Chain A
């Protein structure tokens, strides 16, 4: 490993090779150090910028986070006070349902593409799924609207969840396929040599070995759909009233934020930032939860 901790020992081991041609070696080492510095500068400056963005949202939104904000339904535009409890519950339900539908579907499709992915059917699926990733999500909203909302004559949280699930599919499929393909072939050979069936190899060797990458993919997918506004506008549509019935119109945080930003009143604009802060907090919470599960199940890997 070329991580910091291993440097002292590996340096002394390398020295014999370097002494032969020390001038060239100096240039090589200098270039290498320069490269390391560049990588570090890039990483640090990106992080500083991210910190700035997060602090910007915090600065605009934090003064408007109070108990009411978490426990009250929204007030009318222009009136101070009120909160986003309806939207938080709606987001949890919609994104949760979407994950239950979309993540397994994307995962299994990714496995299919990685393991049986050389036929023409798989090629077709791969190209279609890839192009789905670049489609504006409002089109997915339209699709679900045509198939679910119009026949039912009603908007519903479930329709929103279906739209988000479809958006999750390409994200999950793509990462699953990539990550599974990166699992060393030796592991498969070893597993097969031990007499494991292909299914056993997949479930007990390959997926656990790829779990880190799969969870990163899952997290990115959840974070992405949790912030989606456009597809929900055509499916869950939003509601200022508390509702936990997935068959009825349902609020969600991005919808609520979008609604707040339409307001001419400064109070609601700030509430939009506060709402983003809540959304950010929820997604970070989900990320920590995933990491916690990961740490408990994969000691020494994180």
Chain B
């Protein structure tokens, strides 16, 4: 039954079934099981598709998995000539660029979403929403082109020297500025995930019932307090969902990151100026030229690892959301 899973406890279900019996309402129509069957079928179809995808991926990368085992994770080189493959710098690059991009985009995106949903005049809201949606529609190869033709040179000549001059004592802003590198990739990723955060964030904030805000306003709360105590807690899980979608996008982004990240493993350091590598950029760089055999299989294992990383972050995020929303009733 549809309503069984709504999280209102068993009392409601008891009451519901008693009401149903008493008034003979909501009987099981054939339509119900039909509908349920259809959505279940869709779920199963998706399961089969994703399962098949994982199967194809793992079976195609099996040669390297069986040849290198754990060494694939710690090896540094990606060297088809000497048949030695490893992705340590790529894992580092993937994790650093995605998490930092999300960390930078999250306050900006949610701030903008709050403005759009709560404070913005209606006409302006329509215009701003439209612009944000347009950003989502710029293909990533174009953002990449902008990134490496315009943004990276600017970063090299102005951005990175400025950072070095003012924040150079931090370990993140040391070394010679190349333009191309982790910092450029982080910025490009930030631009790409902002529309997801803003659009979905606004949507989530607007679904928080008006009454919750009005109740707090009536108690004399300021705008900030309303948002802090009434809106954000109710929207937390939805916002976390938007953040997860954004992180997924950042983890998997291929072409734009490849164009600006420099694609060369640098000696390990904390500097964001260094060039780097990500798992998707291995795929973007090598897929076209990978010859059948161990080489292609190594490229695909990079895809497997990415899948694993995304899976792990999702599990972590869900645990986090359950923690955060414990005791807070869902709207």
Determine whether A and B are in direct contact in the complex, meaning some CB atoms lie less than 8 angstroms apart.
yes
Determine if A201 and B220 form an interchain contact, defined as CB atoms under 8 angstroms apart.
no
How far is A50 from B128 in the complex, measured between Cα atoms in Å?
A: 10
How far is A238 from B46 in the complex, measured between Cα atoms in Å?
A: 27
Chain B stretch 38-72: residues in CB contact (< 8 A) with chain A: 38-43, 45-47, 49-54, 56-57, 60
Determine if B203 and A179 form an interchain contact, defined as CB atoms under 8 angstroms apart.
yes
B115-133: contact bitstring with A at CB < 8 Å (1 yes, 0 no)?
A: 1101111100010101111
Chain B stretch 215-244: residues in CB contact (< 8 A) with chain A: 217-220, 222-227, 237-238, 241-242, 244
B60 to chain A, nearest CB (A): 8
Q: With A137-B252, A174-B245, A195-B23 in contact, is A220–B196 under 8 Å at CB?
A: yes
Q: With A4-B119, A46-B108, A220-B200 in contact, is A28–B225 under 8 Å at CB?
A: yes
Q: Looking at the complex, which one of B25, B137, B214 makes contact with A280 (CB distance below 8 Å)?
A: B137
B90-117: contact bitstring with A at CB < 8 Å (1 yes, 0 no)?
A: 0000000000000000011001101110
| B139: interface (CB < 8 Å) | yes
* Tally of B interface residues using CB under 8 Å: 125
Which residues of A are found within 8 Å of B12, using beta-carbon distances?
Answer: 189
Which residues of B are found within 8 Å of A136, using beta-carbon distances?
Answer: 252-254, 279-280, 283-284, 303, 306
How far is A253 from B191 in the complex, measured between Cα atoms in Å?
A: 22
How far is A147 from B29 in the complex, measured between Cα atoms in Å?
A: 39
| A115: interface (CB < 8 Å) | yes
Instruction: Please report whether the interface of chain B is mostly helix, strand, loop or mixed according to DSSP.
Output: helix
Residue of A14, A147, A179, A197 with most partner-chain B CB within 10 A: A197
Determine if B128 and A140 form an interchain contact, defined as CB atoms under 8 angstroms apart.
no
Which residues of A are found within 8 Å of B207, using beta-carbon distances?
Answer: 179, 182-183, 213
How far is A184 from B206 in the complex, measured between Cα atoms in Å?
A: 12
Which residues of A are found within 8 Å of B46, using beta-carbon distances?
Answer: 105-106, 109, 125, 128-129, 169, 173
Q: With A4-B119, A105-B45, A131-B311 in contact, is A116–B39 under 8 Å at CB?
A: yes
| B264: interface (CB < 8 Å) | no
Determine if B310 and A131 form an interchain contact, defined as CB atoms under 8 angstroms apart.
yes
Q: With A40-B115, A53-B135 in contact, is A229–B8 under 8 Å at CB?
A: no
Determine if A229 and B139 form an interchain contact, defined as CB atoms under 8 angstroms apart.
yes
Chain B stretch 168-227: residues in CB contact (< 8 A) with chain A: 191, 194-196, 198-200, 203-204, 206-207, 209-210, 213-214, 217-220, 222-227
How far is A284 from B137 in the complex, measured between Cα atoms in Å?
A: 8
Determine if A115 and B2 form an interchain contact, defined as CB atoms under 8 angstroms apart.
yes
Which residues of B are found within 8 Å of A71, using beta-carbon distances?
Answer: none
Q: With A108-B43, A125-B47 in contact, is A261–B145 under 8 Å at CB?
A: yes
Q: With A146-B56, A178-B204 in contact, is A38–B26 under 8 Å at CB?
A: no
| A240: interface (CB < 8 Å) | no
A164-176: contact bitstring with B at CB < 8 Å (1 yes, 0 no)?
A: 0010011101110
Q: Looking at the complex, which one of B42, B145, B210 makes contact with A108 (CB distance below 8 Å)?
A: B42
A152 to chain B, nearest CB (A): 16
- Chain A residues with CB under 8 Å of chain B are 1-5, 10, 13-14, 16-18, 28-29, 31-32, 35-36, 38-40, 42-43, 46-47, 49-51, 53-54, 56-57, 104-109, 111-113, 115-118, 121-122, 124-125, 127-140, 142-143, 146-147, 166, 169-171, 173-175, 177-179, 181-185, 188-189, 192-193, 195-199, 201-203, 212-213, 216-217, 219-220, 223-224, 226-230, 253-254, 257-258, 261, 272-273, 276, 279-280, 283-284, 287, 302
Q: Which 10 A-B pairs have the closest CB atoms?
A: A17-B220, A198-B2, A134-B310, A227-B139, A108-B42, A283-B137, A133-B248, A32-B222, A134-B248, A195-B25
